[in-house]
Structures are given as C-alpha cells and as structure tokens.
Structure 1
Amino acid sequence: MPRNKSIILLSVGHACVDVYQGAVAALVPFFVAERAYGYAAASGIVLAASLLSSVVQPLFGAVTDRWALPWLLPVSTVAGGVGIAVSGVFESYALTLAFVALSGIGVAAYHPEAARVARLASRGRHSAMGWFSLGGNLGFAAAPLLVTAVVAAGGLRLSPLLVLPALAGSVLCLPVLRALGGTAGGRTGRAVVGTDDRASFLKLSLAVVCRSIVFVGLSTFVALYAQQRVGGGAAAGAAALFVLYLGGAVGTVVGGNLADRWDRVRVVRWACLVSLVAVAGVVFVPGPLFYVFVALTSAGLYVPFSLLITLGQDYLPSRVGTASGVTLGLTVSVGGIASPVLGGIADASSLQVALLPLIALPALSWLAVRDLREPA
C-alpha cells in the first residue's frame, strides 16, 4: 500500500477514536439537563474518562513494548465508541461512570500501538506523523458538533448512534495492518536501534506538561476572556475558541513539514519562543489583535505536537510504546488537573491574573529543551 494512503487511513481512524475524548465533555450538559446531575457528579464523569485514560496509557505502552499488538487498533476503537454510546442508555450513575471509563480505557489502549503502527507506515517522515496527529486533533474538535447533532435531536436515548465513528475507524485500520503484515506483528515488531536517553526524555516530558497546561488553560477560559478583551458577547468567545482549534489543526501539519527541513529539536525550541510571545499577547493585548495572538499561540503549541511524540520515541528506542503513552497520555492529564487551579485564582482575583502563569510555561519549556540534541 502507498505510504500516503496508509497515513490517510490511520489519520481518519485516529479522528474516529479521538471523537470520544471530546464527546465526554460534550455529553455533560445533556446529563445535567436530563438527569439533574450536579457539578460534582458531572465532573466525576469527565474525570472517569480523562484521568483513567491518561494514567492507563503508559501501561498499555509498556505492554506493547514487549509484544506488538496491532489487533488493539480495531478492538480499542470499538471499545471507545461502545462506552460512549451506551453511557446514555442507563439511568444508573454507577453504570454511566463504568461505560465512560470503558471508553477511556479503549482510547488509552489505542494510542501507544497506533503511534507505533503510524511510525512504521510513515517510514520515519515527520510530515506523515504530523498528518496522523492532525486526525486526532480534528476528531477532538468535531466531537461537540457530532454529539449535539445526535443527542439534541432526541435526547440521550439516541446515544447508541455515537458508535458509528468507532465502527468506521475499526474498519479503516484493517487495510493498513494487512499491508504492513509481519512488520506490524511479532514480539516487538521492530529492531531496537540506539540506546535509551532517559534524561532527555524526562526533559521532553516536562515540555509536554507545560504545553498541556497552557493549551487546556486557554481552551477553558479563552472564550470568557475574549468577551472581556474584545467585547461582542458569546460570539466573540466562540470566535476565539474556533481560532485556537483551527490554528492547532494547521500547526500540526506545518510542524511536520518544518521538521523535514530542519531538525525537530530546533523547531520545538523556536515554537516555545513563539508561544512565549503569543501567550503574553493574549493576556495583555486588547482589541482585534487579540485574535492574532490567539492564532499565534495555537500555532506555537501545535507545531511541535507530533514532533514531541516522535522525539520521545527516539529518546526511548527500546520503549517506543511507553514513550508514546507518556507523551500522548500521562503528561497531558496535568493540563486538566491545573485548570481548576486557574479557575480558583480567577475567582479570587481576575481572569487576567489567572492567565499570567501561562506566560512563564513556554519559557520553562524552552529551558527544558534548550540542551536537547536530535537523536541519531
């Protein structure tokens, strides 16, 4: 199978899986409206999916370091979809949590092995991995539209229809796995080249944590902040959120192409510096220029997204699955944990004061990666 076709299929499959990461938060208003869940109960649903998924991903990564498990791609995709689809069927809060947790486990099982298979299919091209990452970003962004279109029409009883992306994604990955054949299977499915550089991997993980806190913090509050800085009410906030997501989609692809020209570490360093200036602009610059800085922030955060994944794999060549699980999972959960802290600061002072710490995080990322070297 041509390399580009394999990556396209994997990218669309990635979108079909990450729909279920975004679907949990999108379902919360419907749970509140139909079942009268309080804020604590609603946040428990989100926590059941996101935190469990983030913590379990490195464990699946460690397993796939010992045994290549390409069959996990279709099976985990279906599990992610079934969990969300069934979560709206039962009135029991415990069963709702259980099925949302099942979806989180399915998402967790998918990413480390999918990242390994995408690496094989891309044959080392950073731009190809950028397209694979883009699929996940688009799926996450599309989740609210999909959930609203399905559930708003007939309530949570229609939630089983949300399994359809999972069925499509599970089928799309099969031709790629057949084409890779024995390359994707076996005990590890690869030969280890190079030695693990754990110190560099830890520094890289710190940069991923900082990026996560900035992105999740802005995703949570940029719509409200835009109304203060620009005016225009809810429309101004929605426009800011759209620019943040759109810039991420473009930045992911641009990052892969830049890394094909220059080394990944250099691109990551420059992205940190761009993010530093851009986040400061978001916090301090009023008026229409606010949107320009939101777009620059999104690009600065997403240009290195796929590069951080492949760098992590190259710093831990004997533990590619673990590296993928950490860069895609465990460190990302920190953003969700830090978001309530920012909200508490905003309640105690102002939203601008709460966003001030986000300016320092790209600088911390730059300090973490400044001494890194491109892996051989």
Structure 2
Amino acid sequence: METSLDKNALAGVSSSPAAPPLAAMPQHTVYSVLGAISFSHLINDMIQSLVLAIYPMLKANFSLSFGQIGLITLTYQITASLLQPLIGSYTDKHPKPYSLPIGMGFTLAGLLLMSVAPNFGILLVAAALVGCGSSVFHPESSRVARMASGGQHGLAQSLFQVGGNAGSSLGPLLAALIIIPHGQRSIAWVSSAALVAIVVLTQIGRWYKRHPATKKARAAHAGHASLSRNQVRLAMGVLVLLVFSKYFYLASINSYFTFYLIDKFHLPVQAAQVHLFIFLAAVAAGTIIGGPIGDRIGRKYVIWVSILGVAPFTMLLPYANLFWTSMLTVVIGVVLASAFSAILVYAQELIPGKVGMIAGLFFGFAFGLGGIGAAVLGQLADATSIGYVYKVCSFLPLIGILTVFLPDVEGRRAKA
C-alpha cells in the first residue's frame, strides 16, 4: 500500500528507458493518488459551497434582488453542470493530464475576481469562472480515481466522493468564520486553498501522464458486446431516473430539514443544525460504505437496496416523533448515499471507454438536480407546508423499482 505521494506514484516518467508500459504493469490500488484526489475534491467542493454561503453578504453589499441572486446561481450552475459531460467526452478522446490544475486555475481566478468585483456583472463573470473550474474537475478527477483504483472501482469512487462531501460541509463554516466577519475582500484569502490544490493536482497530472495506457486497458476489460444499443439506452434512462429520485430527496433534506424540525418540533436553530450535521455525517459514512460493498457483491444489488430499500424509512419519516426522526434520518443518509458510487461505476462499465463523459454527465446532472430540486420544493412549501413537502418526497425512492430493468452487467462480464 502506498502512503505518500512518493516519486513512484506521482513523480512522473521514470528515467529508465526500459520502464515497462502501463498495460503490462500489475494493477494495484494507488492509495496515495486516491488520497490526493479526494483532498483536491474537498477543496473544490468547499469553494463551491462557500460561494453559495456568502449570498446574504453579496445581496447586502450590492443591493441585489432575489432574482439577481437566482441569476448568479443559474450562471454558476450552467457552467458547472452543463459543461461537465462535454468536457468529459472531449478528454475521453483527447486525454489532458494537466487539465486538473488548469481547471482549478479557473476557480482561483473566479475567487480573486469575486473578492474585488465592483458590480453585479463582474460577480456573474466570477461565478461563471468558479463553475468552469468545477466542470473540468469532476469528470477528470473521476477518471483519475478509476485509473488509481487497481480494479476496486467502487472503493475508489467512494473515497473520491467522500472528499467532496466533507468539503461541502466545510464551505458554510468557512464563510461564517472568515468571509462574513471580514467582508468581500477576504474571499481572496480562500484562494490559498485553491493554490494548494493546484500544486497537488499538478503532481497528479504527472502521474496521469505517466499512465495514459489505462484507456486501452479499460476498454479491453470492460466490454459488453452482448448488450444491444436499446438495452444500453434503457439502462442509462433508468440510471438517470434513479439519480433524479436520490437528489430530489436529498434536496429536501439539505435545504429544508432545519425548517422542518423548527416547524414541527419547535427546535431552536442551533439544535436543528445539529440534526442536519448528523444527517450529513451519515451521508459521508454511506458514501464510503457503498463503493466497497458494490465491489464485493455487485453494484446492481447496492442500487436496489440504496434506492428502493430506503423507501420504508422515508415514508415513515413525516409521521415520526423527534427521536425517531433523528434515527430515521441517519438510516436514510447512510443507505441513500451509498447509491451514487454504485450508479456511476455501473454506468462506466455499461459504456466502456467513456469514463469522463459518464462522470461529467452524472456529476453535472446530480448537481443541477440539487439546485432545481431546492427551487421546486421551495415553491411547493410556500404553496402548501414544509410537512407536505416531506410527505410528497417520501415516495420518491419508490422509483427504485425501475432497477429491475437494469441488465446484469457484472454477470455478463464474468461470462465474457
């Protein structure tokens, strides 16, 4: 097991002219690279959530309307979501080992511009730059995680994604401790984190450049010629619907759980936030668990349990007392969060040779759904009640029954 970014892992091309090609090298899990890419994911998603957390400050500083705040979000989401599959598709055909530090450079530029932005128009440009950085990072870093997995694709994706989960939870905390007390200019201080990430990602880029032949190795080991084009299309459609059910339900918790607890149980804000933190910790645990279990028992089984299996708990939640609400959200967080690694790796094996495009498609789709879900559910809560939102969302996991239409990809591969 590798424990540091030593020269064998990240130092680049060996000086020995007799170094064997990657395809001939024995596969092993490069934990140093997985740790580095997970750390970079933490910084990337910390910055993304930080931008959302400073909206109240920007609204006050620039006298923005809620419509203008929404336009900032739209600009950010368009660049962060819609560009991801396009970038992933391009880099599948034309690998760019140093695209990761370049992408983080866009994020750095966006932060610095946001710290000195004199008007709303410049804020939009800054938000677009931060979104572009995220759109480059996710498909390419997911590819690196798969390259470093040594065949443990679920484990690698789980380790990668848990870094993002941790970063998302740190962003609002960073905003509260640093940005809000010190004002807009202090956004530039966060750029030091982006600089650290650029250094780490440059080292990863050297390792990536040293191991370009994994594309051919991946195509050779993941072929599923027995599946027809219509079967692949059906399976991808089912996966998209499963991601929809997962992220729309998560949007109801992430955005409105504190309001739900305050409204139903009359909790103070601080106590409600503790319950939300417990849920986020459960999500992080589920993210780590789902990938390795999928490697062992098969990803389709994990998808079954994590989407459809969580339905009884979500349907009980709107009728539970405070104690059982807390218990149920822990179970829901762990079980539901285990799905994404399994879905992503399943899709990558369904369409071999398109690792970047698939990662970009699903990360972008998931990110976009989170924003859309929050907006739609907010409108529903205004029109009805926050309790009604949770009753409606409790049925979303039943979409998991569509898993029955997924072909047994791993079984087919074993027979090939």
In 1, Cα distance between equivalents of 2:212 and 2:39: 19
1:64-85 superposed Cα distances (whole Å, 9 cap, x missing partner) = 1211112111111121232133
In 2, Cα distance between equivalents of 1:184 and 1:167: 26
**Which residue number corresponds to residue 254 of structure 2?**
219
> Which of 168, 171, 196 is the equivalent residue of 1:140?
168
> Which of 84, 92, 95 is the equivalent residue of 1:68?
95
Q: Given residue 395 of structure 2, which amino acid in structure 1 is its aligned partner?
A: A
> Retained in 2: the 8 A contact 1:198–1:315?
no
In 2, Cα distance between equivalents of 1:6 and 1:130: 14
**Which residue number corresponds to residue 333 of structure 2?**
298
In 1, Cα distance between equivalents of 2:340 and 2:133: 22
> Which of 270, 276, 291 is the equivalent residue of 1:256?
291
In 2, Cα distance between equivalents of 1:99 and 1:222: 30
In 2, Cα distance between equivalents of 1:16 and 1:272: 29
Moved more, 84-93 or 109-118: 84-93
**Which residue number corresponds to residue 23 of structure 2?**
none
**Which residue number corresponds to residue 37 of structure 1?**
64
1:120-164 superposed Cα distances (whole Å, 9 cap, x missing partner) = 011221222211111111111111112222212320011111112
TM-score by length of 1: 0.94
**Which residue number corresponds to residue 374 of structure 1?**
409
In 2, Cα distance between equivalents of 1:198 and 1:69: 28
**Which residue number corresponds to residue 18 of structure 1?**
45
In 1, Cα distance between equivalents of 2:217 and 2:199: 24
1:88 paired to 2:101: no
Percent identity of paired positions between Structure 1 and Structure 2? 25
Q: Give the deviation of 1:177 after TM superposition.
A: 3.2
In 1, Cα distance between equivalents of 2:320 and 2:409: 36
Q: Give the deviation of 1:92 after TM superposition.
A: 1.1
1:152 paired to 2:186: no
* Aligned CA distance change for structure 1 residues 72 and 35 (closer, same or farther; 3 Å): same
Q: Given residue 42 of structure 1, which amino acid in structure 2 is its aligned partner?
A: I
**Which residue number corresponds to residue 353 of structure 1?**
388
> Which of 375, 398, 401 is the equivalent residue of 1:340?
375
1:196-230 superposed Cα distances (whole Å, 9 cap, x missing partner) = 73321221121112111111122111110011333
Matches within 5 A, 1:322-341: 322-341=357-376
In 1, Cα distance between equivalents of 2:123 and 2:213: 35
**Which residue number corresponds to residue 176 of structure 1?**
204
Q: Given residue 122 of structure 2, which amino acid in structure 1 is its aligned partner?
A: L
Q: Given residue 172 of structure 1, which amino acid in structure 2 is its aligned partner?
A: V
1:273 paired to 2:312: no
CA RMSD of aligned residues (A): 1.9
Deviant stretches of 4+, over 6 Å: none
1:86-106 superposed Cα distances (whole Å, 9 cap, x missing partner) = 213112101100111111011
**Which residue number corresponds to residue 51 of structure 1?**
78
Larger Rg: 2
Q: Given residue 370 of structure 1, which amino acid in structure 2 is its aligned partner?
A: V
Q: Given residue 138 of structure 2, which amino acid in structure 1 is its aligned partner?
A: H
Moved more, 102-111 or 316-325: 316-325
**Which residue number corresponds to residue 277 of structure 2?**
242
1:230-258 superposed Cα distances (whole Å, 9 cap, x missing partner) = 33221232122112211111111111221
Q: Given residue 250 of structure 2, which amino acid in structure 1 is its aligned partner?
A: F
Q: Given residue 43 of structure 1, which amino acid in structure 2 is its aligned partner?
A: G
Moved more, 131-140 or 141-150: 141-150
* Aligned CA distance change for structure 1 residues 85 and 250 (closer, same or farther; 3 Å): farther
What is the count of residue pairs matched by the alignment?
374
1:177-201 superposed Cα distances (whole Å, 9 cap, x missing partner) = 3334432379x57552314733212
**Which residue number corresponds to residue 202 of structure 1?**
237
Which sections of structure 2, spanning at least 5 residues, go unmatched? 1-8, 10-28
What SS does the corresponding residue of 1:288 show, helix, strand or coil? helix
Q: Give the deviation of 1:261 after TM superposition.
A: 2.4
In 2, Cα distance between equivalents of 1:161 and 1:137: 22
1:114 paired to 2:141: yes
